[in-house]
Amino acid sequence: MASAALSLTLSACSPSPPNFVSTDITGANYAKEFRLLDHGGNMRSLADFRGKIVVIFFGYTQCPDVCPTSMSTMSGVKELLGDLGNKLQVLFITVDPERDTPRLLSEYMRNFDPTFLALRPELGQLKGLAESFKVYYSKVAGKTPTSYTMDHSAGKYIFDTTGKVRLFSSYGTEAKVIASDIKKLLAYK
């Protein structure tokens, strides 16, 4: 009886996990780690961003709609977070390292927010990285060898301040919804 009362007392002291709108994937055994060069030539991993919420999106700079829409959404999220925006790190991982040069990636990031970083896997790294994040991508031939497009997954992975993947936000989720989920992650310890 005493152990049951103690158990109830302890559980009453623990905060309830937040109710997220994004899909809660806490404990997933994928989307864990990487070591990639950013658009400035610096080697990056999730550990570099401890203490921040990290949002990872896979895309490419010549994407006509999904990628710029998603990155604009993330700019809106940062704005909605106000002062908490300094606790957000957006990482854009290209699925088109053949065309997405560091210079092009740098210019692309400046269109959205100067703190957003683009990461560029080598062609040989891309397949394994995509598999480890359960991300789909495929080159679709165009009229010329360089006019191809890339089909790709369009969701965002959201990591907590300790570097653990917590949420998956589908393409089209509004900035206010993502911002609300991020605020919940920052408040939940």
Rounded-to-integer distance, Cα 135 and Cα 34, Å: 14
Rounded-to-integer distance, Cα 47 and Cα 117, Å: 15
Using pLDDT thresholds of 50, 70 and 90, give the confidence band for residue 14: low
Compute the average pLDDT of residues 158-164.
96
Compute the average pLDDT of residues 125-149.
93
| Cross-strand partners of 137 | 152
Q: Which residue ranges form the domains of the chain, and what is each CATH number?
A: 37-187 (3.40.30.10)
Using pLDDT thresholds of 50, 70 and 90, give the confidence band for residue 13: low
Q: Which amino acid is at 159?
A: F
Q: What is the pLDDT of residue 23?
A: 94
Task: Sort strands 117-120 and 88-94 into parallel, antiparallel or unpaired.
Answer: parallel
39 is in an annotated binding site: no
Compute the average pLDDT of residues 130-147.
93
Q: What is the pLDDT of residue 15?
A: 64
Q: Which of 5-14, 25-34, 36-45, 138-147 has the highest mean pLDDT?
A: 36-45
Cβ neighbour number for residue 5 with a 10 Å cutoff: 9
Whether the pLDDT of residue 54 is over 80: the answer is yes
Least confident of 12-16, 86-90, 177-181: 12-16
Q: What is the pLDDT of residue 146?
A: 85
- 2 vs 150 pLDDT, higher one: 150
Using pLDDT thresholds of 50, 70 and 90, give the confidence band for residue 27: very high
Q: What is the pLDDT of residue 89?
A: 98
pLDDT tens, residue by residue, 63-117: 999 999 999 999 999 999 999 999 999 999 999 999 999 999 999 999 999 999 9
Whether the pLDDT of residue 8 is over 50: the answer is no
Count Cα neighbours of 82 within 13 Å in the Cβ-side half-sphere: 3
Compute the average pLDDT of residues 132-145.
93
13 is in an annotated binding site: no
Reported as type and span, the H/E element at residue 154 is none
Nearest to 24 by CA among 133, 167, 165, 155: 167
Query: For 96-125, b where at least 16 C-beta lie within 10 A, e where not — what string?
Result: bbeebeeebbbebbeebbeebbbbbbeeee
Compute the average pLDDT of residues 20-41.
93
Cα four-point dihedral sign 169, 175, 181, 182: positive
